[in-house]
Every structure is written in structure tokens, then in C-alpha cells.
């Protein structure tokens, strides 16, 4: 997928007019790209449209309309767009209760490095986490992480040929997997290789 440019974005005025319809489109689009791993983890697999929405919202919230500011947002968010040989995902660790979340984030230290994709019965492909900046401390992990799953051309070909895709997490305090993933998610993720 091509990175976003300024020409791909709505101006603040255009976005104000289009926001409701664009937001509805993105929410529907995200439904097929979301994977729940148990009760407390979810993965949103990013693509060009989900990233455009994030950029548009940031520009709107921060009232950014100058070229330098727009380019800065694009530089921050474009790395979340898959490049044809990988998947990119936002990992959310979700506990509604504040105290329960605090304890969980301490127990789940390093979980971002334990998320995996498995193609058929081959070796698991582990996520590469938080390449932009460190999101965990020695005491706790963050509730949000950015992940990349990198695949070889052979792995992509096997997935495109119909091999089962499983996604999971193996952490001492949290183990879950989905096998196989739902057809709508599979179709969305395979489209990321185009």
C-alpha cells in the first residue's frame, strides 16, 4: 500500500463536512479488521483507510492546517500502513476497572512481544513491537502497542493459497488464540499483500 500524502487528505473544512459519513465508513471497515484475543486484548489491523482516519482526526483535534504540521502527522502515522509484505496492528489491552488495569499492566509486562501469527502448522511469526518508541517500563507494559508481522514471499503465497491462519498470544499471564481467523478478517489481511 502506498503511504498517504497531503493530496489524499481532506482539508479541515472538507473534513468537517465529510466527517460523519467518513467516520461511519471507517467504523464499518474496522469491524472486519478487528480481532479479539480473549476478554482483554484486541488487535486492530491497520491499513491506509484506518490510518487516514487517525490522521484526519489528529488534524481536526489539533487544528493543524499548515504544511509542516500535516507532514509531521503523516510521518508519524504512515509507518502504520502495511507495505505489501507485512501486517501492522494496534494492540489494545483493555480492562475497564482502573485498579484491575494497573495490576494487569504490571503482570503483562512483555506481552507485546508474545503476539503471534501461525500459517498452517509452521513456526509462529512473532510480532515486532513498538518500533517508533518504547512503550513499556521495567515495571509495567503500556495499554497500547504498535505491532508489525513480517512475512516471507513463501509465507504470503501459502496464505494466499488458502492455508489456515491462526493468531494468538503466549504470555505466562495471558494465553489466547483464534484458529482459524474469521473469513472477513482473513480476506482483509490478504488484501494487505496487494
Looking at the structure, tell me whether residues 140 and 155 fall in a common domain.
yes
pTM across the whole model = 0.91
Looking at the structure, tell me whether residues 1 and 77 fall in a common domain.
yes
Looking at the structure, tell me whether residues 23 and 57 fall in a common domain.
yes
What cell does 143 get? Answer: 495499554
101 touches 95 (CB < 8 A): yes
88 touches 80 (CB < 8 A): yes
Looking at the structure, tell me whether residues 99 and 59 fall in a common domain.
no
For the chain, give the number of residues: 194
Looking at the structure, tell me whether residues 113 and 131 fall in a common domain.
yes
Q: List pLDDT tens digits, range 172-188.
A: 999 999 999 999 999 99
Q: Is the pLDDT of residue 151 over 70?
A: yes
Looking at the structure, tell me whether residues 66 and 126 fall in a common domain.
no
What is the rounded CA–CA span in Å between residue 192 and residue 131? 20
Q: What pLDDT is stored for residue 135 in this prediction? A: 67
- Cβ contacts of 8 within 8 Å, gap of 6 or more: 52
- Cβ contacts of 23 within 8 Å, gap of 6 or more: 53
The H-or-E segment that residue 105 falls in is helix 98-107
Q: List pLDDT tens digits, range 99-126.
A: 999 999 999 999 999 999 999 999 999 9
Looking at the structure, tell me whether residues 9 and 98 fall in a common domain.
no
Domain span including residue 141 = 32-47+84-194
Looking at the structure, tell me whether residues 43 and 66 fall in a common domain.
no
Looking at the structure, tell me whether residues 69 and 165 fall in a common domain.
no
Looking at the structure, tell me whether residues 94 and 53 fall in a common domain.
no
Number of domains in the chain: 2
| CATH number of the CATH domain containing 158 | 2.60.40
Amino acid at each position: 500500500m502506498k503511504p498517504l500524502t497531503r493530496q489524499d487528505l481532506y482539508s479541515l473544512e472538507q473534513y468537517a463536512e465529510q466527517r460523519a459519513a467518513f467516520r461511519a465508513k471507517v467504523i464499518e471497515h474496522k469491524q472486519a479488521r478487528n480481532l479479539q484475543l480473549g476478554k482483554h486484548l484486541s488487535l486492530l489491523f491497520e491499513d491506509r483507510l484506518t490510518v487516514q482516519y487517525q490522521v484526519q482526526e489528529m488534524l481536526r483535534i489539533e487544528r493543524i492546517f499548515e504544511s509542516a504540521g500535516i507532514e509531521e502527522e503523516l510521518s508519524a502515522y504512515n509507518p502504520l500502513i502495511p507495505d505489501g509484505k507485512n501486517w501492522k496492528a494496534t494492540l489494545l489491552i483493555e480492562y475497564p476497572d482502573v485498579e484491575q488495569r494497573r495490576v494487569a499492566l504490571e503482570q503483562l509486562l512483555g506481552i507485546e512481544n508474545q503476539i503471534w501469527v501461525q500459517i498452517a502448522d509452521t513456526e509462529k511469526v512473532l510480532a515486532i513491537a513498538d518500533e517508533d518508541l518504547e512503550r513499556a517500563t521495567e515495571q509495567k507494559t503500556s495499554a497500547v502497542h504498535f505491532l508489525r508481522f513480517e512475512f516471507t514471499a513463501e509465507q504470503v503465497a501459502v496464505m494466499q493459497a488458502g492455508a489456515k491462519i491462526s493468531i494468538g498470544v503466549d504470555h505466562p499471564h495471558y494465553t489466547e488464540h483464534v484458529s482459524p481467523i474469521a473469513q472477513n478478517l482473513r480476506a482483509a489481511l490478504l488484501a494487505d499483500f496487494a
